Structure 1
Amino acid sequence: MSAPTSRRWPVTEAPVAVVTGGASGIGAAVVTALRDRGHTIGTIDLSGETRADHAVAADVSDGAAVAGAVAEIRAELGPIAALVTSAGYYEMAPVSQISAQAWQRMLRVHVGGLFHAARACLPDMLERGSGAVVAVASELAVGGGDHDAHYAAAKGAILGLVRSLAAEVADRGVRVNAVAPGPTDTPLLAVDSPWRAADYLETLPLRRLVTPAEVARCVQYLVCDATFSTGDVVNVNAGAVI
């Protein structure tokens, strides 16, 4: 990776975290959780409307747009110390009804979003010799799901990329991990979603959806406290995958 052009991060400054998809749901909860631990937050989201210290509107599937957004955040807040990729979307469809465009879009947003953001943020962490990346995957990456082929494939690719990045940068002080939430109580799940149905919830050991704040606490732990962990996946799914 090319050397970063930004200044070094003085130890007296608050660490800067970039959160993609920080406008709502899990991403918004991550913004709150990391701020509670002293991070300054820059977000990249389609809307650009977040509670971050600096927010940039960009599509994470566009590598040039992500690079530009990270450069803007770096210029405003300082070099990047942590990255959390939570930008994404969910849709269900049988394989026969997944168009080539829908397939490509799903992959570009989820695994492409992680790839683009990591390429833009990692140089600062590698220069400093420390940092943390946490990707939001899904329990469907582990267990698959009916009518979820393109979503599960994209989230599964995230796990492969996380493990490969973890191996690549571990000896330079950077940790790369993932969380794999089950169905989470966010606007991504429609009111009539089968994941909200009582008969589905009864199949879960905890009998409920997880909350964005619960997922965010796991992200916070991986960023701030799990200095021993890299290449790992924390399952946050009310017992859906045990």
Structure 2
Amino acid sequence: MTGKVAVVTGAASGIGASVAGRLADEGWLVAGLDRNPSAGALSLAVDVADAPAVAEAMRRAEDELGPVEALVTCAGHYETTPFADITPEAWHRMLRVHLGGLMGAARAVLPGMLARGHGDIVAISSELAIGGGAGAHYAAAKGAIIGLVRSLAAEAAPRGVRVNAVAPGPTDTPLLAADSPWRAPDYLATLPTRRLARPGEIAATVSFLLTEGTFVVGEVLSPNSGAVI
């Protein structure tokens, strides 16, 4: 993969930082899109909910590094608000970050990938999109990602572009507060692995899809510590 360009959104922390680091170690030139500075070949400050800003960031990445061969959308926003307390503003913000963040980034890179006849898009969803759980607006936004991934995969695969999703379970990142119910011993005891997933394990799943898993199209891989079986 040496010299190929990958864009990772949400690259400053958590799963995104782990994915960006893993790809850089494997020889990718990584452009990180995040509101905060990120490591890698290029750090671009952008809110993924702002589609025009994302498109401009993608143009900069291609101008400075070269054609984008892989896009991994990790940028996220998490809340466990009870359904009755979710405000319209919170609902729309969740959708703009997750579903809008994928849409804006994919629309920016997909034309070039299709023109070249190859490329990969991997979107980070969540096991809550599969099994449901606290934070209905979060689960709904992550579920919408899966619908978009499968639809886009069917459209793009015949032209050489693969689109897939990774739906992690609760993962040991700063996104989960110290008092998060997902860290509680009672919850961890329900998992077959008895522990949270690690960011490096999610990054390894993404790496597989971009390298060895070239036969995987329109799928959702869910490394979730057995939370959903």
TM-score, normalization by structure 2: 0.98
Q: Which residue number corresponds to residue 54 of structure 1?
A: 42
Q: Where does structure 2 lack aligned partners over 5 or more consecutive residues? A: none
User: In the alignment, residue 32 of structure 1 is paired with which amino acid?
Assistant: G
Q: Which residue number corresponds to residue 173 of structure 1?
A: 160
1:1-242 residue pairs with structure 2 within 5 A? 14-47=3-36, 49-145=37-133, 147-242=134-229
Instruction: Tell me how far 1:36 sits from its aligned partner.
Output: 2.2
Runs of at least 4 residues off by over 6 Å: none
Q: Structure 2 vs 1, CA of residues 126 and 13 (structure 1 numbering), >3 Å: closer, same or farther?
A: farther
Q: Where does structure 1 lack aligned partners over 5 or more consecutive residues? A: 1-11
Give me the CA root mean square deviation.
Answer: 1.0
Q: Give the distance between the partners of 1:24 and 1:13, measured in 2 at CA.
A: 24
**Do the aligned residues in 1 keep the contact of 2:2 with 2:28 (CA within 8 Å)?**
no
Q: Which residue number corresponds to residue 3 of structure 1?
A: none
User: In the alignment, residue 52 of structure 1 is paired with which amino acid?
Assistant: G
**Residues 126-158 of structure 1 deviation map (CA, whole Å, 9 limit, x = unaligned):** 12111110000000000000x310000000000
Instruction: Tell me how far 1:33 sits from its aligned partner.
Output: 1.2
**Do the aligned residues in 2 keep the contact of 1:139 with 1:235 (CA within 8 Å)?**
yes
Q: Give the distance between the partners of 1:15 and 1:129, measured in 2 at CA.
A: 15
Report how many aligned residue pairs link the two structures.
229
User: In the alignment, residue 95 of structure 2 is paired with which amino acid?
Assistant: L
User: In the alignment, residue 39 of structure 2 is paired with which amino acid?
Assistant: R
TM-score, normalization by structure 1: 0.93
**Do the aligned residues in 2 keep the contact of 1:81 with 1:124 (CA within 8 Å)?**
no
Q: Give the distance between the partners of 1:53 and 1:79, measured in 2 at CA.
A: 14
**Residues 180-206 of structure 1 deviation map (CA, whole Å, 9 limit, x = unaligned):** 000000000000000000000000000
Identical pairs, percent:
60
